[in-house]
Amino acid sequence: MPLVSTPAIVLSALRYSETSKIVRLATREHGVQSAIAKGALRPKSRFGASLQVLSEGQAHMLTKEHRELHLLTAFDLAQLHVGLADDLRRYATATALAEIMLRFAAPDPHPESFDRLRDGMALLEQARSEVVDALAVRVLWGLVSVLGFAPSMDACARDGAPLSLRGPLPFSTQDGGALCPACAVQQGATQLPAQARADLVALLAPAADLPALDRKHCAAHRRLLARYIHHHLGEESDLPALAFWVRRQWETV
């Protein structure tokens, strides 16, 4: 069983027996992997409190060929991301990121998605309070895009026709992006007003200035993103962390 060491983020942690945990890890060199951390629940465990969801560090695993569960021998903690836990908006977004990574990333090397997850969590933790809501939409779109599901915004998602650069824009979740006028008539689509279109373009561009979204328009962008994720990645599957983020259920309790 070869020993591998890789940067990793804990996506989930489940109790296994009286003393152990099974963790799902996003790793930079090996994709999403499952590992058992034997003795992790013992009072004097070598893992300490490091195996918390969203913890970031260096994972050391004994891997088993053709097996889905490896042996985690150590986890060198680098970041607990306590700043995320202090704000439900930040934490809800980070857990939605982790859920998307857990459910849709492959157990194959994909450094780009790991980097986007890690960087998104760091941005959320450090951002000013007034930009967190818009930033949340951006980092989730960013992970969806790097996983291979970026929406088409410059050309029709159905026939590839170039689109006007300004004005309202038909957007089809089913087709994976914007539609030209002819395809929009045939298919039916969500009509994005000019400002909503400009805001979405900015949200999809990591280096652009974040748009100033009021509560109503930010909620509309969350719903659009959630529908897109469910159609292209989720196949109508249950995504509780994403649903919690979209509905902002903490505001109703």
Q: Tens digits of per-residue pLDDT, 198-217? A: 999 999 999 999 999 999 99
| Residue range(s) in the chain whose domain bears CATH number 2.40.50.140 | 3-80
Residue type, 96: A
Summarize the confidence of residues 75-100 as an average pLDDT: 94
Residue 6 pairs in a beta bridge with 59
CATH code of 83-252, in short, is: 1.20.1440.120
Of 159, 230, 150, 157, which is closest to residue 169 (Cα–Cα)? 157
Residue 35 has a pLDDT of 95
> In this structure, which topology does domain 3-80 adopt according to CATH?
OB fold (Dihydrolipoamide Acetyltransferase, E2P) (2.40.50)
Residue 43 has a pLDDT of 86
66 pLDDT above the threshold of 70? yes
Instruction: Give Cβ neighbours of residue 50 (< 8 Å, ≥ 6 apart).
Output: 57, 75, 76, 77
Q: Tens digits of per-residue pLDDT, 129-142? A: 999 999 999 999 99
Q: How far is CA 4 from CA 57, 59, 76, in A?
A: 14, 8, 13
Summarize the confidence of residues 68-96 as an average pLDDT: 93
Say how many C-beta atoms besides its own lie within 10 A of residue 244's C-beta.
Answer: 17
Mean pLDDT in the chain?
92
1 pLDDT above the threshold of 70? no
Per cent of the chain over pLDDT 90 is: 75
| Residue range(s) in the chain whose domain bears CATH number 1.20.1440.120 | 83-252
Residue 250 has a pLDDT of 75
Q: Tens digits of per-residue pLDDT, 147-173? A: 999 999 999 999 999 998 889 999 999
